[in-house]
Structure 1
Amino acid sequence: MSPSSSFVSLTFFFVLLVSSLVFAASTSSSDDISELFDDWCQRHGKTYGSEEERQHRIQIFRDNHDFVAQHNHITNSTYSLSLNAFADLTHHEFKTSRLGLSAPSPSVMAKEQSRGVRAEVPDSVDWRKKGAVTNVKDQGSCGACWAFSATGAMEGINQIVTGDLISLSEQELVECDKSYNTGCNGGLMDYAFEFVIKNHGIDTEKDYPYQERDGTCKKDKLKRRVVTIDSYTDVTSNNEKALLEAVAAQPVSVGICGSDRAFQLYSKGIFSGPCSTSLDHAVLIVGYGSQKGVDYWILKNSWGKSWGMDGFMHMQRNTGNAEGVCGINMLASYPVKTHPNPPPLPPPGPTKCNLFTYCSAGETCCCARNLFGLCFSWKCCELDSAVCCKDGRHCCPRDHPVCDTTRSLCLKKTGNSTEIKPFWKKNSSKTLGRFEEWVM
């Protein structure tokens, strides 16, 4: 064999060896990602309708994994990312399902603020520590961030004035506030405040629970005015000092740009962008502080506790940009409360199923037997506003409204995945009233 032939053979062997090693590394990486994805699905309760869909989600998960890893290798970044509950969504899917602020044009944003100028403000404020912030909630695949921001601000001022922290009904705003706001298709906090003022109050989350979808306004719930506000104030646009003074006094609703990919996968630290000032998401500022010379806002989001720092974010402030990071200084407002809440209404009476059958307060009438569309046997589900399963023996909570009686599960469709809750079986000695099997 000639020297040139030997060189060609060695070169071919080397290329083949390198290709084999690259393929092996790729295979190992695929196995690692697949195992990581399985663990992630189990942790977040995600399932998919087909193997094809599952493989599609793995590829998206891999892409987000690479994005997270690339960002977290930046040594001077003030924040880090993680594979949170949105790691199986493309950036486009995320933006279309989790945002919902219908911001006005900059020309109509507040030019002045009515709150009196405070002489000085504390170096740091955290309204969570003062008991003025409810637990982090989850808007799900419904663009109702505006409603969560508005209720959060009203919950805060109500606690400051009355001493009572009461979780308020986002669903009432989603279903009943239709003068400008459009439920899951978006809205604005100021119009939510106006709705509550005109209605002379708002119901509690417990009595009018969130459903993650639009529905028909329940007129009877409008009469349950548990918390009231008197007016609201818009903070001067692009005035960070005015915003700081407002937050020092109470939690404040703000609009931001939440559509950046890093925002989707945020984990911890002080978020500094990059992001635009095109406002498309609403959050609640619940305080401010500083860490290692970097000032930040404390934001309460409405994407559940698996996002960010148990549902919260630190966003950089005092950057020298009038609009603030992600436009946080552009659109801010807060409710004003000076009067006490109305006296509590008497507890609701029994729920009527028909002329002769009723369920206790807080239970749901479900038909156990029907003939030609007429129910002649009723049972009571021990869940308020429950979904009755067609088998006449089970019910599901409204936040997991799909009955799967073959697997004894209650399901909730979330984008391309399904969250599940198991049936909880219970025997009852009552002949009229409760299912033998029902779901909590």
Structure 2
Amino acid sequence: MSLLWQFWTVVLLFHLPIICKSSSSTADLFENWCKQHGKTYTSEQEKQYRFEVFEDNYDYVVRHNSMANFTYTLSLNAFADLTHHEFKAAYLGLSASANNLIRLNRGSSSVGGISGNGKKNNDLPSSLDWRKKRAVTKVKDQGSCGACWAFSATGAIEGINKIVSGSLVSLSEQELIDCDRSYNNGCGGGLMDYSYEFVVKNGGIDTEEDYPFQGLERTCNNNKLKRHVVTIDGYKDVPSNNEIELLQAVATQPVSVGICGSERAFQLYSGGIFTGPCSTTLDHAVLIVGYDSKDGVDYWIVKNSWGTSWGINGYIYMLRNGSNSEGVCGINMLASYPVKSSPNPPPSPPPGPTKCSLFSSCAGGETCCCSLRLLGICFSWKCCELESAVCCKDRRHCCPQDYPICDTERGLCLKNITNSTLAKQLQNGGLAGKLSDWSYLFAN
């Protein structure tokens, strides 16, 4: 018994310095990582939990990068304090119906984005990068809003608009998130085909500058919905699992695709040609902006919407000409692109002012709300930055017309629902959101 105890004592003493050094160095790495990515936590308990998740991801990255049979590397990027489950829940967003999509084809599915004339593979350049042709806007960040479908769709429209009109304009994902509700579901997921259908029926789409991304769903701004800065004529679908036609399409313009983006290696990807392994169950949307080869391995150049701290400054190289027809992560399964030949309309004139009184007015698309009333007469007006809004009785806030009940005590704008439903929603935290999410402070 004493010999056995001596044996384990020697083992523990031998390993203890290594364990302590590893834990300490990982803690220092975590602190530096927090500073680099601006991470703060609400409590020491939360920070300790995130450190444990970080450690687990660190071990995974080290193991992966030590293997010689992979053509890509991983790193401790901005998602390194998230479990794989948390990451999947927050950063994807292709509709679950993507895998059983009945496409809304407008016209033929044959390839040819500008003139309708497809190119033969012999005529294609060996490599192409639409970024070099200034047909790709900067990498954007969808945050935890699952609207990758909107970013993929606007990216494709931005590309074809540049090719046809010569002007690169960053377009509004927020307009699609707020207003495209026939099939798509805002931050809850959607599909690119439906986005193109919406833009066609709406007569165009607004700019990102005019209708900026908010990171959450809001009430559709009908005033900005009418600003048709960029138009498309329709869209086409690349036949599923046909990489030849997908290549022909990308040679013509940037192309939207669905992929499986939920693999753990995808979460922490940092460089090289991504080869999987990964499922072909589609749950994320990205944009192919070109193709190339390295050391005899063909790859797609893919723009993501997770910010520039992920991947290769926001991009990923994904295997092309692989062994299965679906493509790596299903990239050949759900490809589509907008078609444009018509010029964009002239800029819409700004809406006229909204008259509050003989001497007061608000800008077009705003609502007049009285801030000082005596004996039934309003002596001072302020402007609510919403069209046809409801003015709250506190004379400080307003609510959208589809959330017309002002609950100033809780700081909420509510729908017209029964008390029992309200009680359930309060209990479950399922209300429309905080007042800051669903209304606007009046201007001073």
TM bracket, shorter-chain basis: 0.7 to 0.9
Quote the sequence identity (%): 62
Assess if the C-alpha contact under 8 Å between 1:112 and 1:237 holds in 2. no
The aligned residue for residue 33 of structure 1 is 26
> What pairs up with 1:197-216 in 2 under 5 angstroms?
197-216=200-219
Give the residue type in structure 1 aligned to 2:160.
I
AA at the equivalent of 2:135: A
Match in the other structure for 2:98: 104
Inter-partner Cα distance in structure 2 for 1:367 and 1:51? 46
Match of 1:132 in 2: 135
Contact 2:160 2:254 in 1 (8 A): yes
Q: Deviations over 1:104-125 (max 9, x none)?
A: 3457468952534313211011
Secondary structure of residue in 1 paired with 2:98 = coil
1:280-320 superposed Cα distances (whole Å, 9 cap, x missing partner): 00000000000000000000000000000000000001013
Q: What is the total number of aligned residue pairs between the two structures?
A: 377
Cα deviation code 1:50-101 (max 9, x no counterpart): 1101000000000000000000001121000000000000000000101111
Query: Which sits farther off after the overlay, 34-43 or 289-298?
Result: 34-43
Provide the residue aligned with 1:42 in structure 2. 35
Q: Does 1:71 align with 2:72?
A: no
Question: Is 101-110 or 344-353 further displaced after alignment?
Answer: 344-353
State the distance in 2 between where 1:66 and 1:236 align: 41
C-alpha distance in 2, partners of 1:380/1:146?
A: 31
Partner of 2:315 in structure 1?
312
Q: Which amino acid aligns with 1:51?
A: E
TM-score using structure 2 length: 0.78
- Aligned residues of 2:111 and 2:245 also touching (Cα < 8 A): no
2:116 paired with 1:113: no
Q: What is the CA distance between 1:326 and its match in structure 2?
A: 0.3
List per-residue Cα deviations over 1:229-280 (Å, max 9, x = no partner).
Answer: 0000000110000000000000000000000000000000000000010000
Q: Residue 34 and residue 376 in structure 1: after superposition, are their counterparts in 2 closer, same or farther (change >3 A)?
A: farther
Q: Residues 369 and 20 of structure 1: is their aligned pair in 2 closer, same or farther, counting only changes over 3 Å?
A: farther
Q: Distance in 1 between matches of 2:361 and 2:302?
A: 45
Q: How does 1:167-178 map to 2 (within 5 A)?
A: 167-178=170-181
* Distance in 1 separating the partners of 2:379 and 2:9: 74
Q: Is the 8 A contact 1:174 1:182 kept in 2?
A: yes
C-alpha separation between the residues in 2 aligned to 1:317 and 1:239?
12
Query: Which amino acid is 1:104 matched to?
Result: A
Q: Distance in 1 between matches of 2:81 and 2:371?
A: 39
Q: CA deviation at 1:35?
A: 1.0
Q: Which amino acid aligns with 2:76?
A: L
Q: Which amino acid aligns with 2:290?
A: G
Conserved in 2, the CA contact under 8 Å of 1:61 and 1:89? Answer: yes
Specify which of 210, 226, 234 is matched with residue 231 of structure 1. Answer: 234
Residue 430 (structure 1) aligns with: none
CA contact (8 A) 1:58 1:88 kept: yes
Gaps of 5+ in 1: 1-7, 382-389, 393-432, 436-440
Q: Following the alignment from structure 2 to structure 1, what is the Cα–Cα distance between the partners of residues 24 and 170? A: 44
**Residue aligned with 1:166, SS:** coil
Q: For structure 2, which runs of at least 5 residues remain unmatched after alignment? A: 386-393, 397-441
What residue is the counterpart of 2:87 in the other structure?
Answer: 94
1:160-203 C-alpha deviation (Å, 9 max, x unpaired): 00110000000000000000000000000000000000000000
Would the aligned equivalents of 1:147 and 1:189 in 2 still touch at CA under 8 Å?
yes
Give the RMSD, CA atoms, in angstroms.
3.2
Corresponding residue number in structure 2 for 1:411: none
Give the TM-score taking structure 1 as reference length.
0.78
What is the SS of the residue equivalent to 2:257?
strand
